[in-house]
Chain A
Protein backbone atom coordinates (compact mmCIF):
# COMPACT_ATOMS: atom_id res chain seq x y z
CA UNK A 1 0.00 0.00 0.00
CA UNK A 2 2.79 2.39 0.93
CA UNK A 3 4.53 1.72 -2.38
CA UNK A 4 1.34 2.51 -4.23
CA UNK A 5 0.88 5.76 -2.33
CA UNK A 6 4.49 6.76 -3.00
CA UNK A 7 4.11 6.16 -6.70
CA UNK A 8 0.82 8.07 -6.76
CA UNK A 9 2.38 10.95 -4.88
CA UNK A 10 4.86 11.48 -7.66
CA UNK A 11 2.02 11.75 -10.18
CA UNK A 12 -0.75 13.56 -8.29
CA UNK A 13 -0.81 16.14 -5.49
CA UNK A 14 -1.93 13.84 -2.66
CA UNK A 15 -2.51 15.34 0.75
CA UNK A 16 -3.50 14.16 4.27
CA UNK A 17 -2.49 10.58 3.65
CA UNK A 18 -3.81 8.26 6.36
CA UNK A 19 -2.70 4.63 6.38
CA UNK A 20 -5.52 3.26 8.46
CA UNK A 21 -4.76 -0.43 8.07
CA UNK A 22 -2.25 -2.30 5.91
CA UNK A 23 -5.05 -2.77 3.40
CA UNK A 24 -6.88 0.56 3.80
CA UNK A 25 -5.68 4.10 3.14
CA UNK A 26 -7.20 7.53 2.63
CA UNK A 27 -5.87 10.52 0.76
CA UNK A 28 -7.11 13.96 -0.23
CA UNK A 29 -6.82 15.28 -3.77
CA UNK A 30 -7.89 18.57 -5.40
CA UNK A 31 -11.25 18.30 -7.14
CA UNK A 32 -9.75 18.94 -10.58
CA UNK A 33 -7.44 15.91 -10.28
CA UNK A 34 -10.04 13.43 -9.05
CA UNK A 35 -11.18 12.11 -12.40
CA UNK A 36 -7.67 11.62 -13.70
CA UNK A 37 -6.57 9.86 -10.55
CA UNK A 38 -9.63 7.60 -10.50
CA UNK A 39 -9.04 6.71 -14.11
CA UNK A 40 -5.40 5.91 -13.36
CA UNK A 41 -6.33 3.77 -10.36
CA UNK A 42 -8.94 1.88 -12.32
CA UNK A 43 -6.90 1.22 -15.45
CA UNK A 44 -3.36 0.90 -14.08
CA UNK A 45 -3.50 -0.04 -10.41
CA UNK A 46 -6.29 -2.61 -10.41
CA UNK A 47 -8.87 -0.66 -8.37
CA UNK A 48 -11.70 -1.88 -10.55
CA UNK A 49 -14.54 -1.69 -8.03
CA UNK A 50 -16.23 1.48 -6.80
CA UNK A 51 -17.42 0.63 -3.29
CA UNK A 52 -19.19 3.89 -2.64
CA UNK A 53 -19.37 7.57 -3.33
CA UNK A 54 -20.59 9.66 -0.46
CA UNK A 55 -20.43 13.18 0.92
CA UNK A 56 -19.86 14.99 4.21
CA UNK A 57 -21.15 18.48 4.86
CA UNK A 58 -18.50 20.67 6.53
CA UNK A 59 -20.91 23.51 7.17
CA UNK A 60 -18.47 25.65 9.20
CA UNK A 61 -15.82 25.52 6.47
CA UNK A 62 -18.36 26.04 3.70
CA UNK A 63 -17.22 22.83 2.02
CA UNK A 64 -18.59 19.48 0.91
CA UNK A 65 -16.25 16.54 1.15
CA UNK A 66 -16.75 13.81 -1.41
CA UNK A 67 -15.33 10.39 -0.60
CA UNK A 68 -14.67 7.84 -3.33
CA UNK A 69 -13.92 4.42 -1.89
CA UNK A 70 -12.26 2.01 -4.30
CA UNK A 71 -11.46 -1.65 -3.94
CA UNK A 72 -8.74 -3.73 -5.55
CA UNK A 73 -10.06 -7.27 -5.74
CA UNK A 74 -6.80 -8.92 -6.77
CA UNK A 75 -4.79 -7.54 -3.84
CA UNK A 76 -7.74 -7.18 -1.43
CA UNK A 77 -7.08 -3.54 -0.54
CA UNK A 78 -9.15 -0.38 -0.33
CA UNK A 79 -8.30 3.18 -1.11
CA UNK A 80 -10.45 6.14 -0.15
CA UNK A 81 -10.07 9.39 -2.04
CA UNK A 82 -11.38 12.56 -0.47
CA UNK A 83 -11.91 15.83 -2.21
CA UNK A 84 -13.34 19.14 -1.07
CA UNK A 85 -15.69 21.26 -3.15
CA UNK A 86 -17.22 24.61 -2.34
CA UNK A 87 -20.61 24.48 -0.71
CA UNK A 88 -22.02 27.47 -2.52
CA UNK A 89 -21.01 26.07 -5.92
CA UNK A 90 -21.71 22.41 -5.31
CA UNK A 91 -20.89 20.96 -8.71
CA UNK A 92 -18.59 18.08 -9.48
CA UNK A 93 -17.54 16.08 -12.52
CA UNK A 94 -19.42 12.80 -12.75
CA UNK A 95 -17.64 9.44 -12.89
CA UNK A 96 -20.59 7.53 -14.37
CA UNK A 97 -18.52 6.84 -17.50
CA UNK A 98 -15.90 5.04 -15.40
CA UNK A 99 -18.39 3.12 -13.24
CA UNK A 100 -22.02 3.14 -14.41
CA UNK A 101 -23.16 2.45 -10.82
CA UNK A 102 -21.85 5.88 -9.85
CA UNK A 103 -24.87 7.41 -11.57
CA UNK A 104 -27.06 6.13 -8.71
CA UNK A 105 -24.75 7.62 -6.08
CA UNK A 106 -24.66 10.89 -7.96
CA UNK A 107 -28.42 10.97 -8.21
CA UNK A 108 -28.66 10.41 -4.47
CA UNK A 109 -26.09 13.10 -3.72
CA UNK A 110 -27.99 15.54 -5.92
CA UNK A 111 -31.16 14.87 -3.99
CA UNK A 112 -29.83 14.62 -0.45
CA UNK A 113 -27.00 17.19 -0.56
CA UNK A 114 -27.80 19.23 -3.65
CA UNK A 115 -24.43 18.42 -5.23
CA UNK A 116 -24.87 18.57 -8.99
CA UNK A 117 -23.18 16.22 -11.42
CA UNK A 118 -23.96 17.66 -14.87
CA UNK A 119 -24.55 15.02 -17.50
CA UNK A 120 -25.08 12.14 -15.11
CA UNK A 121 -28.01 9.98 -16.28
CA UNK A 122 -31.23 10.74 -14.41
CA UNK A 123 -29.47 13.01 -11.93
CA UNK A 124 -32.47 15.32 -11.66
CA UNK A 125 -35.07 12.58 -11.21
CA UNK A 126 -36.51 12.19 -7.72
CA UNK A 127 -34.95 9.28 -5.88
CA UNK A 128 -36.62 8.93 -2.50
CA UNK A 129 -38.05 12.41 -2.02
CA UNK A 130 -40.79 12.89 -4.56
CA UNK A 131 -41.95 16.46 -4.94
CA UNK A 132 -39.36 17.83 -2.51
CA UNK A 133 -39.34 21.62 -2.32
CA UNK A 134 -37.24 22.37 0.75
CA UNK A 135 -33.46 22.39 1.26
CA UNK A 136 -31.77 19.06 0.51
CA UNK A 137 -32.28 17.20 3.80
CA UNK A 138 -28.71 15.99 4.38
CA UNK A 139 -27.38 19.52 4.40
CA UNK A 140 -26.64 20.37 7.96
CA UNK A 141 -28.48 23.67 7.88
CA UNK A 142 -31.70 21.75 7.17
CA UNK A 143 -33.68 21.42 10.41
CA UNK A 144 -35.35 18.01 10.20
CA UNK A 145 -37.28 18.38 13.47
CA UNK A 146 -38.69 21.73 12.48
CA UNK A 147 -39.61 20.37 9.04
CA UNK A 148 -41.38 17.35 10.49
CA UNK A 149 -43.29 19.53 12.95
CA UNK A 150 -44.43 21.84 10.18
CA UNK A 151 -45.43 19.04 7.79
CA UNK A 152 -46.73 16.13 9.82
CA UNK A 153 -49.44 16.18 12.43
CA UNK A 154 -48.33 15.42 15.91
CA UNK A 155 -50.10 13.09 18.31
CA UNK A 156 -50.39 14.33 21.88
CA UNK A 157 -49.26 12.15 24.72
CA UNK A 158 -45.68 11.52 23.77
CA UNK A 159 -43.45 11.86 26.83
CA UNK A 160 -39.69 11.55 26.96
CA UNK A 161 -37.96 10.57 30.20
CA UNK A 162 -34.35 11.15 30.97
CA UNK A 163 -33.34 7.60 31.99
CA UNK A 164 -31.20 8.67 34.97
CA UNK A 165 -33.83 11.01 36.43
CA UNK A 166 -36.60 8.52 35.77
CA UNK A 167 -34.82 5.64 37.51
CA UNK A 168 -33.89 7.86 40.43
CA UNK A 169 -37.51 8.85 40.87
CA UNK A 170 -38.56 5.24 40.51
CA UNK A 171 -36.02 3.70 42.89
CA UNK A 172 -35.64 6.50 45.46
CA UNK A 173 -38.98 8.30 45.54
CA UNK A 174 -38.12 10.02 48.85
CA UNK A 175 -35.13 11.88 47.43
CA UNK A 176 -36.81 13.12 44.29
Chain B
Protein backbone atom coordinates (compact mmCIF):
# COMPACT_ATOMS: atom_id res chain seq x y z
CA UNK B 1 0.00 0.00 0.00
CA UNK B 2 1.25 3.44 -0.90
CA UNK B 3 2.67 5.72 1.82
CA UNK B 4 -0.11 8.27 1.47
CA UNK B 5 -2.64 5.53 2.31
CA UNK B 6 -0.91 4.43 5.52
CA UNK B 7 -2.30 5.30 8.90
CA UNK B 8 -0.40 8.31 10.18
CA UNK B 9 -0.45 11.33 12.47
CA UNK B 10 -0.87 14.65 10.71
CA UNK B 11 -0.26 18.10 12.10
CA UNK B 12 -2.92 20.53 11.00
CA UNK B 13 -2.32 24.18 10.08
CA UNK B 14 -3.54 25.21 13.55
CA UNK B 15 -0.92 23.02 15.20
CA UNK B 16 -3.29 20.30 16.36
CA UNK B 17 -2.12 16.77 15.71
CA UNK B 18 -4.66 14.22 14.63
CA UNK B 19 -4.66 10.69 13.34
CA UNK B 20 -5.56 9.95 9.73
CA UNK B 21 -6.45 6.53 8.40
CA UNK B 22 -7.02 7.22 4.70
CA UNK B 23 -8.58 3.86 3.85
CA UNK B 24 -11.29 4.44 6.45
CA UNK B 25 -11.55 8.21 6.37
CA UNK B 26 -11.40 8.94 2.65
CA UNK B 27 -12.74 5.79 1.02
CA UNK B 28 -15.88 3.74 1.28
CA UNK B 29 -15.15 0.35 2.79
CA UNK B 30 -18.36 -1.31 1.64
CA UNK B 31 -18.29 -2.94 -1.78
CA UNK B 32 -20.54 -1.37 -4.43
CA UNK B 33 -24.22 -2.25 -4.19
CA UNK B 34 -26.71 -2.96 -6.93
CA UNK B 35 -29.09 -0.18 -7.71
CA UNK B 36 -32.65 -1.55 -7.97
CA UNK B 37 -34.92 -0.26 -10.75
CA UNK B 38 -37.73 2.17 -9.96
CA UNK B 39 -40.97 0.84 -8.48
CA UNK B 40 -42.88 1.12 -11.76
CA UNK B 41 -41.62 0.16 -15.18
CA UNK B 42 -42.99 3.32 -16.72
CA UNK B 43 -41.02 5.38 -14.19
CA UNK B 44 -37.86 3.43 -14.89
CA UNK B 45 -38.46 3.98 -18.61
CA UNK B 46 -38.76 7.69 -17.99
CA UNK B 47 -35.51 7.64 -16.00
CA UNK B 48 -33.77 5.72 -18.75
CA UNK B 49 -35.04 8.13 -21.37
CA UNK B 50 -33.66 11.01 -19.35
CA UNK B 51 -30.35 9.22 -18.80
CA UNK B 52 -30.01 8.52 -22.49
CA UNK B 53 -30.44 12.22 -23.24
CA UNK B 54 -27.50 13.33 -21.16
CA UNK B 55 -24.38 11.35 -21.78
CA UNK B 56 -21.56 13.05 -19.98
CA UNK B 57 -18.21 11.67 -20.97
CA UNK B 58 -15.23 11.57 -18.70
CA UNK B 59 -12.41 13.48 -20.37
CA UNK B 60 -9.89 10.67 -20.04
CA UNK B 61 -8.04 9.52 -23.14
CA UNK B 62 -6.30 6.20 -22.64
CA UNK B 63 -4.78 5.68 -26.07
CA UNK B 64 -4.58 6.99 -29.60
CA UNK B 65 -8.38 6.76 -29.95
CA UNK B 66 -8.70 9.85 -27.79
CA UNK B 67 -7.75 11.86 -30.86
CA UNK B 68 -11.05 10.88 -32.46
CA UNK B 69 -12.99 12.49 -29.63
CA UNK B 70 -11.51 15.94 -30.15
CA UNK B 71 -13.20 16.60 -33.51
CA UNK B 72 -16.51 15.64 -31.92
CA UNK B 73 -16.29 18.68 -29.68
CA UNK B 74 -15.78 21.01 -32.63
CA UNK B 75 -18.47 22.52 -34.89
CA UNK B 76 -17.87 20.06 -37.69
CA UNK B 77 -19.20 17.01 -35.84
CA UNK B 78 -20.63 18.77 -32.80
CA UNK B 79 -21.62 15.96 -30.49
CA UNK B 80 -23.21 18.47 -28.11
CA UNK B 81 -26.34 18.61 -30.25
CA UNK B 82 -26.97 14.96 -29.29
CA UNK B 83 -26.79 15.72 -25.59
CA UNK B 84 -23.24 14.44 -25.33
CA UNK B 85 -20.61 16.45 -23.56
CA UNK B 86 -17.25 16.04 -21.89
CA UNK B 87 -16.67 16.59 -18.21
CA UNK B 88 -13.39 17.08 -16.35
CA UNK B 89 -14.02 14.85 -13.32
CA UNK B 90 -15.37 11.34 -12.74
CA UNK B 91 -17.92 12.68 -10.27
CA UNK B 92 -19.67 14.61 -13.03
CA UNK B 93 -19.62 12.00 -15.76
CA UNK B 94 -21.56 8.85 -16.50
CA UNK B 95 -19.90 7.58 -19.66
CA UNK B 96 -16.36 6.30 -19.79
CA UNK B 97 -14.94 5.88 -23.29
CA UNK B 98 -11.90 3.64 -23.24
CA UNK B 99 -10.27 5.16 -26.27
CA UNK B 100 -7.98 2.61 -27.79
CA UNK B 101 -5.22 0.50 -26.30
CA UNK B 102 -5.14 0.26 -22.55
CA UNK B 103 -1.81 -0.32 -20.86
CA UNK B 104 -1.67 -1.92 -17.44
CA UNK B 105 -0.48 1.32 -15.89
CA UNK B 106 -3.43 3.19 -17.37
CA UNK B 107 -5.82 0.40 -16.41
CA UNK B 108 -5.08 1.15 -12.78
CA UNK B 109 -6.07 4.80 -13.27
CA UNK B 110 -9.08 3.77 -15.32
CA UNK B 111 -10.35 1.53 -12.52
CA UNK B 112 -9.93 4.34 -10.00
CA UNK B 113 -11.77 6.78 -12.23
CA UNK B 114 -14.52 4.32 -13.13
CA UNK B 115 -15.23 3.52 -9.49
CA UNK B 116 -15.46 7.22 -8.67
CA UNK B 117 -18.17 7.79 -11.26
CA UNK B 118 -21.74 7.90 -10.07
CA UNK B 119 -24.40 5.34 -10.95
CA UNK B 120 -25.74 4.68 -13.49
CA UNK B 121 -22.56 4.65 -15.52
CA UNK B 122 -21.68 3.27 -18.90
CA UNK B 123 -18.48 2.09 -20.57
CA UNK B 124 -17.82 2.19 -24.29
CA UNK B 125 -14.82 0.39 -25.74
CA UNK B 126 -13.48 2.36 -28.68
CA UNK B 127 -11.33 0.65 -31.27
CA UNK B 128 -10.13 -2.89 -31.86
CA UNK B 129 -7.61 -2.79 -29.01
CA UNK B 130 -10.34 -2.90 -26.41
CA UNK B 131 -12.03 -5.84 -28.11
CA UNK B 132 -9.23 -8.32 -28.68
CA UNK B 133 -5.99 -6.40 -28.35
CA UNK B 134 -6.01 -5.11 -31.92
CA UNK B 135 -2.55 -4.43 -33.26
CA UNK B 136 -1.22 -4.77 -29.71
CA UNK B 137 -2.37 -8.38 -29.47
CA UNK B 138 1.11 -9.60 -28.46
CA UNK B 139 2.17 -6.60 -26.39
CA UNK B 140 3.57 -7.21 -22.93
CA UNK B 141 1.89 -4.12 -21.53
CA UNK B 142 -1.61 -3.80 -22.94
CA UNK B 143 -4.67 -5.77 -21.96
CA UNK B 144 -6.50 -7.72 -24.65
CA UNK B 145 -10.10 -7.87 -23.40
CA UNK B 146 -11.59 -4.86 -21.73
CA UNK B 147 -14.69 -6.71 -20.52
CA UNK B 148 -12.56 -8.77 -18.15
CA UNK B 149 -11.85 -5.68 -16.10
CA UNK B 150 -14.85 -3.38 -16.56
CA UNK B 151 -18.44 -4.00 -17.65
CA UNK B 152 -18.62 -2.80 -21.25
CA UNK B 153 -21.95 -1.71 -22.71
CA UNK B 154 -20.86 -1.15 -26.27
CA UNK B 155 -17.89 -1.64 -28.51
CA UNK B 156 -17.16 0.60 -31.48
CA UNK B 157 -14.90 -1.40 -33.77
CA UNK B 158 -12.27 0.10 -36.00
CA UNK B 159 -8.69 1.18 -35.96
CA UNK B 160 -9.49 3.99 -35.52
CA UNK B 161 -13.25 4.45 -35.84
CA UNK B 162 -14.08 7.79 -37.43
CA UNK B 163 -16.00 10.45 -35.48
CA UNK B 164 -19.10 9.47 -37.47
CA UNK B 165 -18.78 5.96 -36.06
CA UNK B 166 -18.68 7.43 -32.59
CA UNK B 167 -21.81 9.45 -33.26
CA UNK B 168 -23.52 6.28 -34.45
CA UNK B 169 -22.18 4.57 -31.33
CA UNK B 170 -23.71 7.23 -29.10
CA UNK B 171 -27.08 6.71 -30.77
CA UNK B 172 -26.80 2.94 -30.28
CA UNK B 173 -25.85 3.45 -26.65
CA UNK B 174 -28.89 5.69 -26.16
CA UNK B 175 -31.01 2.91 -27.63
CA UNK B 176 -29.48 0.38 -25.24
CA UNK B 177 -30.05 2.68 -22.27
CA UNK B 178 -33.68 3.34 -23.25
CA UNK B 179 -34.26 -0.41 -23.46
CA UNK B 180 -32.94 -0.70 -19.92
CA UNK B 181 -30.09 -2.97 -20.97
CA UNK B 182 -27.21 -0.74 -19.95
CA UNK B 183 -26.80 -2.32 -16.54
CA UNK B 184 -23.00 -2.10 -16.39
CA UNK B 185 -22.79 -0.57 -12.93
CA UNK B 186 -25.08 -3.26 -11.48
CA UNK B 187 -23.14 -5.95 -13.29
CA UNK B 188 -19.96 -4.58 -11.76
CA UNK B 189 -21.49 -4.61 -8.29
CA UNK B 190 -22.87 -8.12 -8.73
CA UNK B 191 -19.61 -9.60 -10.00
CA UNK B 192 -17.36 -7.34 -7.99
CA UNK B 193 -15.12 -10.14 -6.74
CA UNK B 194 -14.66 -11.56 -10.22
CA UNK B 195 -13.71 -8.16 -11.64
CA UNK B 196 -11.34 -7.50 -8.74
CA UNK B 197 -9.67 -10.87 -9.21
CA UNK B 198 -9.14 -10.15 -12.92
CA UNK B 199 -7.83 -6.67 -12.22
CA UNK B 200 -5.40 -7.87 -9.59
CA UNK B 201 -4.17 -10.61 -11.88
CA UNK B 202 -2.62 -8.04 -14.24
CA UNK B 203 -1.91 -5.18 -11.83
CA UNK B 204 0.90 -6.68 -9.80
CA UNK B 205 1.53 -3.71 -7.53
CA UNK B 206 -1.96 -3.11 -6.25
CA UNK B 207 -1.36 -0.15 -3.94
CA UNK B 208 -4.82 1.40 -3.74
CA UNK B 209 -8.06 0.59 -1.94
CA UNK B 210 -10.12 -2.26 -3.35
CA UNK B 211 -12.99 0.08 -4.01
CA UNK B 212 -12.17 3.70 -4.82
CA UNK B 213 -15.44 5.36 -4.00
Contact = CB atoms under 8 A, between A and B. Distances in A.
Contacts of A7: none
**B contacts with A: majority SS:** loop
B145 A128 contact: no
A144 B139 contact: yes
Interface of A: 126, 128-134, 137, 142, 144-145, 147-149, 151-155, 157-158
A154 B133 CA distance: 8
Contacts of B201: 151
A141 to B, nearest CB: 13
B47 interface: no
**A contacts with B: majority SS:** loop
Contact of A132 (B108, B138, B204): B204
Interface of B: 103-105, 108, 131-133, 137-145, 148, 198, 201-206
A155 B141 contact: no
B133 A152 contact: yes
Contacts of B105: 128-130
B200 to A, nearest CB: 11
Contacts of B103: 128
B104, B140, B141, B203: most-surrounded residue (chain A CB, <10 A): B140
A137 B140 contact: yes
